[in-house]
Amino acid sequence: MSNIPENLKYAESHEWVHDEGDGTVTVGISDHAQELLGDLVFVELPETGAQLKAGDESAVVESVKAASDVYSPVDGEVIETNELLADSPEVINEAPYDNWIFKLKLSNPVQLDELLDAAAYASLVKAEED
Q: Which residues of 45-65 are buried (b: 16+ CB within 10 A; e: fewer)?
A: bbeeebebebeeebbebebee
Question: Taking CB under 8 A as the rule, does residue 65 contact another protein?
Answer: yes
Please report, to the nearest 10 degrees, the dihedral formed by the alpha carbons of residues 59, 16, 52, 69 taken in order.
Answer: 30
- Is 91 among the residues that bind another protein (CB under 8 A)? no
Please name the amino acid found at residue 88. S
Q: How far is the CB of 101 from another protein (least distance, A)?
A: 18
39 near another protein (CB under 8 A): yes
Stretch that binds another protein, among 5-13, 14-22, 38-46, 103-111 (CB under 8 A): 38-46
Residues at the interface with another protein (CB under 8 A): 36, 39, 41-42, 64-68, 89-90, 129
